[in-house]
A and B are shown apart, each in its own frame.
Chain A
Amino acid sequence: MEDSFAFSIQTGSAEPIYRQLVEHVRRRIASGQLRAGDEIPSVRELAQVLAVHPMTISKAYSLLEAEGLLERRRGLAMRVAPQHLRAQPAASRIELLRPVLSRAAAEARQLQLSKRAALKLFEDILDEGPET
């Protein structure tokens, strides 16, 4: 499988696996790591690699198709839809972070942390992260 698709599952999460996959593909396309015309693994192939029920994968692919991110072709691998030629501008990519940061903000408030402490932690995590 292409490295550009590198996807791993988080079990034990409140986010169902199909949605983890949808978000993953959305981010990869927004950042330009996946572009117009790139083929994605078949349902069967990805189900086997991840050891996941194929219906979970096909559910994610159908949602991505409905959103116009992927296109289905008869008898061929699905691919990234033609309008996604290049990375989205940072101003719109950052919006993809909003849901997860909103949740983090809610938890920071529950924990009664100061804004500064929470932001410091986020900075530290960005600095130490394996992914750039």
Chain B
Amino acid sequence: MNEHLLAATTPSVDLAGVTLAYGNGPAVLKGLDWQLLPGQVVGLLGRNGAGKTTLLEALLGLRETQAGKAQVFGQPVAALDDATRARIGYVPQQSDLFDSFTADQLLRYFRSFYPRWNQAKVDGLMSRWDINRHQRIAKLSGGQQQRLSIIRALAHDPDLLVLDEPVASLDPAGRRDFLRELVEQVIERGTTVVFSTHILSDLERVAFHMAFMSEGRITLQAPLDELLDEVRLLSGTTSEVQGLVQRLGATALKRKPLAAGREQVLARLPAGTQLPAGADGEAVTLEDLFMELT
């Protein structure tokens, strides 16, 4: 992908210095900066309570922020026009479907809001995912409600898709089916996708970039391939490890002092760098990165 061209286009999501607190409580987002470029598929990683849902709601304009800039497709999220709103698809963590409607009634209702509505896709997914159109939503299982929520979010072929734990109620087969749909239909169209989930194996498959959230900020965002290739857990005496980091021009992502003058450093080496023979450096997995960086 041509980074130069990408840089010249308007980001799909652009947050700068966003701060948000609930009432008089502590800030959940603390001057957070985050950019999603068109077509990027980004996995959002953070511990429970880190503020991932708050972040996603803030970028959709559903939460009032106290400071900073939040834009989607170049428009302030607090004042999105209908045309821009219609380019966004959202699967919330908590199902927000109307319980007393049937699936059919719900989809007909939403259809009226969107100039672009892909009925063929809706029909295909409804039958593939086995959702009874005429049953009241309250009577559908948790998994079926979640699928319906996904169909609603995909029906208007959005240019930005925000997924907040979209598959928590689905079994592995249902999740794989959803991932295939993402790859075949959504990513193929160049949709920008933010995907928050604790199921790391799903993210490994479909999210090309990972964003790590910690202490109210996005502390690192990079392609997962590059992180697995470049990040190593270095161990040794403090002077050995620090010397190594300096010699290689590596970036220390996290330091952990150990007993007896030893230290462990999670370091990102410059691309293509090999550790010198004899250096104690272990490759890491996405789960390791999650544990260390969130």
Binding site for B on A (CB under 8 A): 9, 11-19, 44, 47-48, 50-56, 59
Cβ-closest 6 pairs across A and B: A14-B283, A11-B201, A51-B179, A16-B228, A16-B225, A53-B208
Q: Give every chain A residue within 8 A of B200 (Cβ-Cβ).
A: 11-12
Which of chain A's residues have a CB closer than 8 A to the CB of B285? 12-14
A12 to B224, Cβ gap below 8 A?
A: no
| Chain B 221-259: CB-based contact to A (< 8 A → 1; otherwise 0) | 000110011000000000000000000000000000000
Q: How far is the CB of A64 from chain B (nearest CB, A)?
A: 15
A12 lies within 8 A of B205 (CB):
no
Q: Given A53-B208, A55-B208, A56-B208, are A48 and B184 neighbors across the interface (CB < 8 Å)?
A: yes
Near A by CB (< 8 A), chain B positions 188-219 give: 188, 200-201, 204-208
Q: How far is the CA of A15 from the CA of B1 in the complex (A)?
A: 22
> Which bracket fits the contact residues of B?
20 to 34
Most A C-beta atoms less than 10 A away, residue of B187, B206, B225, B287 = B225
Contact B204 A51 (CB under 8 A): no
A53's partner among B205, B228, B286 (CB-CB below 8 A) is: B205
Q: How far is the CA of A17 from the CA of B84 in the complex (A)?
A: 35
Query: In the assembly, what is the distance between CA of A59 and CA of B226, in Å?
Result: 12
Q: Which residues of A contact B208 (CB under 8 A)?
A: 53, 55-56
Taking Cβ atoms with an 8 Å cutoff, the residues of B that contact A are 1, 41, 176, 179-180, 182-184, 187-188, 200-201, 204-208, 224-225, 228-229, 283-288
A-B CB pair tally, cutoff 8 Å: 60
Query: Are B225 and A50 closer than 8 Å at their CB atoms?
Result: no
Bound state CA distance, A12 and B179, in angstroms? Answer: 17
Asked whether A12 lies within 8 Å of B201 as measured between CB atoms, the reply is yes
Having A13-B285, A51-B205, one finds 9 other A-B pairs with CB under 8 Å, namely A9-B205, A11-B201, A11-B204, A12-B286, A16-B229, A51-B182, A53-B207, A54-B188, A56-B208
B134 to chain A, nearest CB (A): 31
CB of A17 within 8 A of CB of B183, answer no
With A51-B176, A53-B206 already in contact, the answer to whether A14 and B184 are too (CB < 8 A) is: no
Most buried by A among B176, B188, B204, B228: B204
In the complex, which residue of chain B has the Cβ closest to the Cβ of A58? B1
State in angstroms the CA–CA spacing of A36 and B182 once bound together. 34
CB distance from B210 to the nearest CB of A (A): 12
- Contact, CB under 8 Å: A12 / B1: no
Whether B184 contacts A18 by the Cβ 8 Å rule is no
Of the residues B1, B179, B188, B224, contact of A16 by C-beta under 8 Å: B224
- A15 B228 Cβ-Cβ under 8 A: yes
The reply to whether A53 and B183 form a contact with Cβ atoms under 8 Å apart is yes
Which B residue sits closest to A60, measured CB to CB?
A: B225
Chain A residues whose CB sits within 8 angstroms of the CB of B179 once the complex forms: 51
Interchain CA distance A84-B223 in the complex, whole Å: 33
Interface centre among B179, B205, B206, B285, by most A CB within 10 Å? B205
Least CB distance from A18 to B in Å reads 6
- Chain A's nearest CB lies how many Å from the CB of B140? 25
Give the chain B neighbours of A53 by CB distance below 8 A: 41, 183, 187, 205-208
Given contacts A11-B204, A11-B205, A14-B283, contact A52 B183 (CB under 8 A): yes
B182 to chain A, nearest CB (A): 8
CB-defined contacts of A19 to chain B, threshold 8 Å: 225, 229
With A15-B228, A18-B225 already in contact, the answer to whether A52 and B205 are too (CB < 8 A) is: yes
Given contacts A51-B176, A53-B207, A55-B208, contact A14 B188 (CB under 8 A): no
Nearest chain-A residue to B287 (Cβ)?
A12
Q: In whole angstroms, what is the CA distance A105 to B288 when docked? A: 22
Residue of B nearest to A47 (CB): B183
